Amino acid sequence: MDVIEKLKQLTEERGWSEYKLVKMCGLPSSTISNIFHRNTIPSIPTLEIICKGFGITLSQFFSEGDMVSLSKEQEQMLRLWSYLSEEQQESLCDFLRTLK
């Protein structure tokens, strides 16, 4: 995967300028400029900050298929899910199936 091309694609999809990306990420404009014009590959920490500005995770950035975007409520549900025991997860799934 070409990281710089992916960054350009994400910027273009959102209709953002480099300036907007700088504002959304909080990175120095020179960092973004070097990435886009000097083909400087960002470090992982820098890429994480950029992804946060885009509202995506590193995992979503590197995914090859369609990106899945979760709402705040869905993120909360997944976080809460991780606290449940396996038995509780099964019970919750059974309950949710009854709501269909």
In one letter, which amino acid is 11? T
The runs of H, that is alpha helices, within the chain are: 3-14, 18-25, 29-37, 44-54, 58-62, 72-81, 86-98
Superfamily of domain 3-62: lambda repressor-like DNA-binding domains (1.10.260.40)
**Cα 9 from Cα 54, distance rounded (Å):** 12
In one letter, which amino acid is 52? K
How far from 6 is each of 32, 34, 60, 82, 86, CA to CA, in Å? 14, 15, 11, 31, 38
Mean pLDDT of the 14-34 span: 95
The residues spanned by each domain of the chain are 3-62, 70-100
Instruction: Please report the pLDDT score of residue 78 as a whole number.
Output: 83
**Cα 80 from Cα 67, distance rounded (Å):** 22
Mean of per-residue pLDDT scores for the chain: 90
Residue pLDDT, tens place only, 36-59: 999 999 999 999 999 999 988 888
Token pair recorded at residue 18: 């480099």
With tokens 């099964």, the residue in question is 90
